[in-house]
Structure 1
């Protein structure tokens, strides 16, 4: 296995320089794995050591670990197709141009302003998101990353399955994959804290994401908590066994190609962002990040990956240095993995 010296040095520097309180990371090639857990889980109100096996609020990784596999299952079962209009299930949108493909490639251009969005109760926020938001002029013209697409996809799954999306993800994805610690309802004492906010205090064991906090079990864009080992197991299952047979091989393979409904290459798959490998064939690698300080990079062709979990928003989300370092780390890892 490669040594990944520059990548590991950069990961450790994030803790040593105070950019993140602590970090849990794994780099794997097939069944060989480099792994480390270092630093602090909490800085305030008192310092607390980071331990292996602690649960992280993975934020938007919920989209690709939970909601995308769920919707792929429904596709495989013939319950929907990628180019079906969203209004087939959410007629309130009142625009038959936007499709499921648009939602999961962030090309739907669904937009609009909801006053006091984060202060509304779940039923009112749901109603406003359906009645107020509309398809804008950039449908099929522009990628604009937004949570609304995967929230809508979760609601489509709810219409088909007759249960909350987070319940469906738990029963149809997390349990069959034996992700033993992954949950939407963690014990706070086992969780790495996130931000300290005026209205919520120290957030620990509750989702940091404002919309997911309000929508609860009806949110498919955020809300999942998982350990490093959970995400390692998920990654191996996605790359090696088609999620242990939960999804058809051709459906998993489709994740590693541009799926946007636009001409040219736009580096967006179903939920995942695409990067070119540094190999001669420049095959695609998939990646996703989470606002709280999490990310994954996976290469199916070479069975390689990197998983990084931090709580970069603790004690404050004002942390541009993390975003800058993360971008450099992506490049460093991609260079070293293909040497």
Structure 2
């Protein structure tokens, strides 16, 4: 436990200092594992204790836990090529410049801004995202992280397999991995609340993400709920068994190399952000964050990982102290795991 002493202190101080109501975290290092569930599931309207079986809104971790493994299976099956134009599958976009690799690496320069977006129905929002968006001049030149990239990726999967992307993830990722604590439709009592908003009140059991809330089962960028236990199962499976054989060595390799079409190293693989290990060889480590206060870091070479679930947006989303401490946490963890 001494190895991760500073990392654990930063984690636990998030609750002690009331930066977040509660948290569930897991650190694993080969066969060793440390974990804790601390604090409350909510402060308002009244305090409620957090329990280990409660499910957090993963927000953008949905991208890498669900949509990326689904799409990589389809890539292995030859359903598409990474440098194939997005318009081959979504002709409504018009432009043939942006590729599927651009979507994975957020280099498409498609902004995703829709006027009065949150007032639209699912049908109206879908039409707007397909028919009013333009590929900008910085395609292949700049990384601009945007949910729309993974909304499009999810829709490509839907057009290939003719089912909602959430259902495809359930069938082709969650079920084979036996991730029984992961769902897109949590029971309200088990869901950890997120923000309190004027329009929706206390958000509980429904995705916090506005686009995901409107699009429902057709959103590849958000909507998944899970526990640290299940995310640890996923993380270990990814770096130890190629997701229990769902993917090949060659496919998993693609997650640990820069996939951007830009010159130089820009630290984006297929959906994941890349960091360099602090070890002598500076080998790649993958990570992703979620808006609601979630984080996963995986080191395939060293068999190590960190999973953190919080609801940092409760009761309000403007929690910059969490963002600052998350940066400290990641740097400290990357340093300590090499000790």
Instruction: Give the TM-score range, shorter chain.
Output: over 0.9
Q: Deviations over 1:96-154 (max 9, x none)?
A: 11000000000000125421111100011000001111100100000010000000000
Structure 2 alignment gaps of length 5 or more: none
Classify 1:207/1:28 alpha carbon distance in 2 versus 1 (closer, same or farther; 3 Å).
same
Give yes or no for the alignment of 1:235 onto 2:235: yes
Q: Deviations over 1:183-234 (max 9, x none)?
A: 0011010011000001101000000000000000000000000011110100
Q: TM-score, normalised by structure 1?
A: 0.99
Contact 2:3 2:337 in 1 (8 A): no
SS for the counterpart of 2:3 is coil
Partner residue in 1 for 2:96: 96
Moved over 3 A (4+): none
Q: TM-score, normalised by structure 2?
A: 0.99
Partner residue in 2 for 1:316: 316
Give yes or no for the alignment of 1:277 onto 2:277: yes
Post-superposition offset of 1:329: 0.5
Q: Deviations over 1:44-85 (max 9, x none)?
A: 000001111210000000000000000000000000111110
Partner residue in 2 for 1:76: 76
Partner residue in 2 for 1:198: 198
Give yes or no for the alignment of 1:295 onto 2:295: yes
Q: Deviations over 1:159-202 (max 9, x none)?
A: 00010000000000001000011000110100110000011010
Q: What does 1:175-190 correspond to in 2, within 5 Å?
A: 175-190=175-190
SS for the counterpart of 1:111 is coil
Contact 2:112 2:148 in 1 (8 A): no
Give yes or no for the alignment of 1:135 onto 2:135: yes
Taking the aligned partners of 1:91 and 1:295, their CA distance within structure 2 comes to 34
Partner residue in 1 for 2:60: 60
Post-superposition offset of 1:30: 1.5
Taking the aligned partners of 1:292 and 1:152, their CA distance within structure 2 comes to 22
Taking the aligned partners of 1:270 and 1:175, their CA distance within structure 2 comes to 22
Contact 2:242 2:249 in 1 (8 A): yes
CA RMSD of aligned residues (A): 0.8
Q: How many residues align?
A: 339
Classify 1:163/1:267 alpha carbon distance in 2 versus 1 (closer, same or farther; 3 Å).
same
Contact 2:111 2:146 in 1 (8 A): no
Partner residue in 2 for 1:307: 307
Structure 1 alignment gaps of length 5 or more: none
Q: Deviations over 1:286-318 (max 9, x none)?
A: 000000000000000001000000000001111
Taking the aligned partners of 1:99 and 1:197, their CA distance within structure 2 comes to 36
